[in-house]
Amino acid sequence: MSRLRPLLHLFTLRQLVIMSSTSSSAAAFSASASPGVFTNSDDTIRDILSNSKTIAIVGASKKQERPVYHVMEFLLESGYNVIPINPGCAGHEILGQTVVGSLYDIPKDVSIDMVDIFRRSQDAGKVVDDAIAVKAKSVWLQIGVIDHEAALRAQQAGLKVVMNKCPYEEIPRLRIKGPASSSL
């Protein structure tokens, strides 16, 4: 039986993510269709979520009141292999998954399909650079996490990028069934 809360919880989850970000609400929604500004593509979102199997969540938390906890729970229940990353919890477990301290602590034989970033916007660039260094296939900057320069660096390095979105919302919206799936 699913431990997930009903999808009606999405609005509350979106509010919590935005409130926990240090970005202003105006900056949280600055990823618009202006020239030279990063924009998300449903095709890219669908491709990442359908073809990713292993997701590293940077900023994972064992605190159930944090949005990252529910996103991790949702991803696990959707069939993804999730590696929680939090240096303060390394060696412990979150939702039955062993926490590692950094992307560099993931064994080299593990292919990281997506790095899901639950960090402040000003910290996202370092995480993106680490994702590039460990040869992740994509980076996903959560709602309220905006770093256009980091997104550009990731794209230039060949990674797929999603910014200011949440897989908790995008998987049901695009009707993704989980890893290695296609939309309806």
Per-residue pLDDT of the chain (184 residues; tens, 9 = 90+): 344 444 444 444 554 444 444 333 223 333 344 445 678 999 999 999 999 999 999 999 999 999 999 999 999 999 999 999 999 999 999 999 999 999 999 999 999 999 999 999 999 999 999 999 999 999 999 999 999 999 999 999 999 999 999 999 999 999 998 886 544 3
Domain contains 182: no
Residue type, 42: D
Shortest CA distance to 59 belongs to which of 17, 23, 8, 25?
17
CATH number for the domain that contains residue 144: 3.40.50.720
Q: Return the pLDDT at 38.
A: 78
Evaluate whether 113 touches 55 at the Cβ level (below 8 Å): yes
130: amino acid identity, one letter:
D
pLDDT the model gives residue 100: 98
Report if residue 152 sits inside a domain: yes
Q: Return the pLDDT at 178.
A: 84
Strands, DSSP E only, in the chain? 54-58, 81-85, 93-94, 97-98, 114-117, 138-141, 160-163
E-state strands within 9-156: 54-58, 81-85, 93-94, 97-98, 114-117, 138-141
Domain membership of residue 181 (yes or no) is no
The whole-number pLDDT of residue 18 equals 43
Residue 105 belongs to some domain of the structure: yes
- Answer yes or no: is 135 within a domain: yes
Is 183 within a domain? no
Strands 93-94 and 81-85: what pairing? unpaired
Give the per-residue pLDDT at 101.
98
Q: Using alpha carbons, select from 141, 102, 180 the residue that is nearest to residue 23.
A: 141
Whether the CB-CB separation of 13 and 70 falls below 8 Å is answered with yes
Number of structural domains found in the chain: 1
Q: Is residue 179 part of a domain?
A: no
The rounded distance, in Å, linking the Cα atoms of 34 and 75 is 31
What domain range includes position 77? 7-173
